[in-house]
Chains A and B, each alone.
Chain A
Amino acid sequence: MEFWICLANRLRSTDRRHRLFVTLYLAIRTPDPVIDDYYRKGMEINKTLNAQRDGLAPALQARNHAATESSQYNIKSLQHKSVPMNLDIAIIGAGPAGLCFARALAESGLRIVVLERQTEAALSHLLLMAARLHSHTIQHS
């Protein structure tokens, strides 16, 4: 056995044809107890590894499933607006002052939001605005 390996190693560096021949010879030659032992041990290890892999499969699947679930949850939570809106300036009140201040900074490159309690229609329709009477306008006597 050792002889053949030595021969194979010697030929490996010199001639590919000889190497092939020796390898083939080793393969078809009568079973060697040492090689057989190695082969048997190798197969046993392989079998054990396969069994372990199969045994772990359900656990791995469960873990992947959990990971997918959690990523879906993250996307859902993003859609649910629970992730804070990140800004530079927030202005409360879309009155003349708030709107003009926002407009004055519009070219600065800052991220600006204007928060208004009223509806969009109340801001965009002239009639709605003109018809509005503020309680503080009425003087109490």
Chain B
Amino acid sequence: MRELGLWERIDAQAISALRDARVFNGSSLHSLNFNHRDTPQSELGYLVSNHLIRKAAYDVVKSSPAITLKTEAQVASIKTDADGVQVKLANGEIIQTKLLIGADSRFQKRAVQWACRGYA
């Protein structure tokens, strides 16, 4: 996140340090303990709200001229051939691309399903 320029866009107050962690399994009283003192660092990691990460990512993408962000763009169909991928949007617009990445969350497996169908 530092490399991508996201970290500096998140308010320091909104970042919580994870010092220790305990992992429980079901109803077991035993836990797996992680302590930051076991590491050379003063914390195991950080906790940041998802919407803040998303907002910071949106801001860096908007400030990057190489990236086009198309909102209200619903994917209607995906077609793969030897030249690449043809994505058709609900508004009729066609996007021809060499590589298509499905990053529409693990709950929307649409892109993955389409891609798999193309190679099946």
Contact = CB atoms under 8 A, between A and B. Distances in A.
Interface stretch (A26-34, A45-53, A67-75, A82-90): A82-90
B103 A97 contact: yes
Interface bracket on B? 35 or more
B58 A87 contact: no
A113 B69 CA distance: 6
B contacts with A: majority SS: mixed
A49 B32 CA distance: 101
Interface string B54-95: 110110111010111111111100000000011101001111
Contact of A84 (B6, B94, B101): B94
A115 interface: yes
A8 interface: no
Nearest to A123: B58
A99 interface: yes
A132 to B, nearest CB: 8
A129 interface: yes
A92 B75 contact: yes
A122 B60 CA distance: 16
